[in-house]
């Protein structure tokens, strides 16, 4: 697993905005820029619709499976995903932000945007 400083460094790469916010008619150009940034930060997989999200809680110990504690992997996953959500929202027009405002995850946002551009 990558060190936390390496993860923080890779996430700083997605802080750069794309040259043009997503609007009607520019999805190919916009998505090429966004996907390039996410691939470079090694976090594109968060956009996958079937990504497996870690469970919120895990057993405290193998011999005590009913005693649950917060899963640090879940907390890390949520933090990364919400950074991607913020990145996506900051790089789309207000008209499209309205369309995705109900989405909870980056995968949800990506799905809605993709469906909007296909239809």
Sequence spans of domains, the chain: 19-118
Average pLDDT score over residue span 93-110: 96
- Model confidence at 10: pLDDT above 90: no
Average pLDDT of the residues of the chain: 87
Neighbours of 43 (CB within 10 A): 21
Of residues 7 and 90, more confidence is placed in 90
3-class DSSP assignment, residue 69 = strand
pLDDT interval class at 6 (50, 70, 90) = very low
Of residues 11 and 3, more confidence is placed in 11
- Model confidence at 2: pLDDT above 50: no
């Amino acid at each position: 697993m990558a060190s936390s400083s390496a993860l923080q460094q890779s996430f700083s790469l997605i802080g750069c905005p794309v040259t043009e916010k997503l609007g009607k008619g520019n999805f190919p150009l916009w998505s090429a820029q966004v996907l390039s940034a996410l691939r470079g930060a090694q976090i594109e997989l968060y956009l996958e619709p079937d990504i497996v999200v870690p469970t919120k809680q895990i057993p405290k110990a193998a011999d005590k499976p009913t005693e649950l504690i917060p899963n640090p992997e879940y907390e890390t996953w949520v933090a990364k995903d919400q950074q991607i959500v913020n990145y996506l929202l900051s790089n789309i027009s207000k008209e499209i932000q309205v369309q995705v405002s109900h989405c909870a995850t980056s995968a949800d946002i990506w799905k809605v945007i993709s469906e909007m551009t296909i239809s």
